[in-house]
Chains A and B, each alone.
Chain A
Amino acid sequence: MGASGDAVVVAGLRKRYGGKNGGGLDGVDLVVPHGTVCGLLGPNGAGKTTTVRILATLLRFDSGRALVAGFDVAERPDQVRARIGLVGQNPAVDEVLSGRRNLVLFGRLHHLGAAAARARAGDLLDRFGLSDAADKPVKHYSGGMRRRLDLAASMILSPAVLFLDEPTVGLDPRGRAEVWQAVRELVGRGTTVLLTTQHLDEADQLATRIALLDTGKVVAEGAPGELKARLGGDRVEFVVRDRSRVADAARAVARLGTAEPTADPDDRRVGVPVAAGATALVEAVRLLDAAGVAVDDLALRRPTLDEVFLHLTGRPADRVEVRK
């Protein structure tokens, strides 16, 4: 199963938690080719963390198959562990030790010699922009620095596959940007990344492909653009200046649409799905002008992943179900 060029191959993965039903898996299928970033997207309890923990050999599963870097997770966890890095939701670095001591510690535990572990720690501190703070205890690091150290600690042996479980949770925008940049750099060097996130913009920013997980199943999979295209592609949207002309405006642009326009008199917003984006935008301006309707904020919009999620699961992505 799976081409040898795939870093992660998951087929029919099932996991039930006794008692609770949140977070279990109900037949997950997933393929992540080498050198790509796969974003595993879904609300709390969808099974994102469960999937990552199974692939990182931290959790057993009931049935199905999972290969990471060519090795079966259930049969050869030792081989898998030698080829992966993991950044979990909780900071997995030692708060008391300095950044450098942390990396040397993890290097030693990867069975590097003392000198090699020190050299590797120095390299990684440079690469992740932590050299200045290298000898300070981690508890004095900012959230973004801590995550970068977490990433660095996962990269001791330059693993083939890196798992990131909500890598920017709890970070401020600056910290998120730092982590995103660090991840992009790793991917630029050929690391395969499987990333879970609840943030649609994060998946949009980093992932080459997205798998949408809902109640333990992958409900949609594809490039971010492909997923958005499933909603019918682009929309022309505008706000009518005069509330009484909303219906007129909708009528005017109706012939552009691949479906009926939507009109919301309350916020004076009209939208219509269109096939040929840019042409449709010019045409809309002409039609509205001809109808004598003044508009603000006329724009061509591609659907957001939020809308994709709503469309595919029937629920908004941000309706967080607390099942912890």
Chain B
Amino acid sequence: MTTMPETVVPDTGPADVPPVPSGGVRWALVDGWTLTRRAVAHWVRDPAPVVFSLVFGVLIVLMFGYLFGGAMRVPDGGEYREFLMPGMFTMTMLFGVGHTAQAVTADLDRGVIDRFRAMPMSSAAVLIGRAVADLLLSAVSLAVMVGVGLLVGWAATGSAGEFAAAIGLILLLRFALSWVGVYLGLVLTGPSAVFGAQTLEFPVAFLSSALVATGTMPAWLGVIADWNPLSSTATATRDLFGNPGVGGEAWVTQNAVLMAVVWPVALLLVFFPLSVHAFRGLRG
């Protein structure tokens, strides 16, 4: 137990630092990066959640690859696990939404966000820090998944440029989905609401071409699944990795690479402003 010092230490603090005008893209990015580093420091000090999420990614590949995989047939012909991996990459990006929302809610509960809000810093920075940190974590988990994929017989047969483009599309989707998570974390009050929202991740993931060809679904359901943003990214990356695809004549399937850019950008355009607005709206 420490005690207060007896002697008065002269206050040599930077009391004369001129107040910085808040707002501005520069401070949003600088402060955002400071908070990204905070989140990364958390993972280093307390790696359990990161390890669990990586293990979850590996397990789900093994489950779908080996437990259900035997029953699956790929429309283009070819090995199911080759078809599966791009869908897995895409699906785990969706599962990040819940983690993002949880992290936002936890900070709100702890009062740290109140301190940030009462400081002369950019109001978008807290959210940007979260989204960028989660993007970094997703990049790590994607690398692990790619490694697992190679071990279970998946391979990318396209060029290095196509491979990089596919990875870029997957991470773009993750970044866009982070803002969905940030928004949900801000508007859903309490951990139980966030948990409730998380249970919707599976239906959203299954109602896409991530795991099965949408042609095997009832026609109307197949149309919905075709238009699921996850389907666009899964189909586009199958194409870029040179893996067997779902086939299908739908416009959205034929233009999957385009849609794998359009969907995330659209999500960003909607959920970034909504999130910033909700963050400011905490002023009630």
B249 within 8 A of A: no
Contact B118 A86 (CB under 8 A): yes
A157-B14, A157-B17, A189-B11 as given contacts; A97 in contact with B41, CB under 8 Å: yes
Residues of A within 8 A of B27 (CB): 111
Closest beta carbon of chain B to A11's beta carbon, Å: 20
Residues of A within 8 A of B125 (CB): 109
Closest beta carbon of chain B to A77's beta carbon, Å: 8
A58-B283, A88-B114, A111-B27 as given contacts; A155 in contact with B2, CB under 8 Å: no
Residues of A within 8 A of B3 (CB): 129, 178
| Residue tally, chain A, CB below 8 Å to B | 58
Closest beta carbon of chain A to B138's beta carbon, Å: 20
Residues of B within 8 A of A132 (CB): 2
Closest beta carbon of chain A to B137's beta carbon, Å: 15
Using a CB-CB cutoff of 8 Å, which residues 150-199 of chain A contact chain B?
A: 153-158, 178, 181-182, 185, 188-189
Contact A89 B111 (CB under 8 A): yes
Secondary structure at the B interface, as helix, strand, loop or mixed, is loop
Closest beta carbon of chain B to A37's beta carbon, Å: 18
Closest beta carbon of chain A to B38's beta carbon, Å: 6
A79 within 8 A of B: yes
Give the segment of A120-128, A220-228, A260-268, A304-312 that binds chain B.
Answer: A120-128
A25 within 8 A of B: no
Contact B115 A92 (CB under 8 A): yes
Closest beta carbon of chain A to B118's beta carbon, Å: 4
A59 within 8 A of B: yes
Closest beta carbon of chain B to A120's beta carbon, Å: 6
A78-B23, A81-B118, A109-B31 as given contacts; A95 in contact with B110, CB under 8 Å: yes
Contact B112 A78 (CB under 8 A): no
Contact B119 A81 (CB under 8 A): yes
Closest beta carbon of chain A to B16's beta carbon, Å: 9
Residues of A within 8 A of B111 (CB): 88-92
Contact A129 B2 (CB under 8 A): yes
Closest beta carbon of chain B to A105's beta carbon, Å: 6
Q: Besides the contacts A81-B120, A156-B13, A158-B14, what 9 more A-B pairs have beta carbons closer than 8 Å?
A: A60-B284, A81-B22, A88-B111, A110-B20, A111-B30, A123-B9, A129-B4, A137-B45, A182-B4
**Chain A contacts to B: CB under 8 angstroms:** 17, 56-60, 78-79, 81-84, 86, 88-97, 101, 105-106, 108-112, 116, 120, 123-124, 126-133, 137, 142, 145, 153-158, 178, 181-182, 185, 188-189
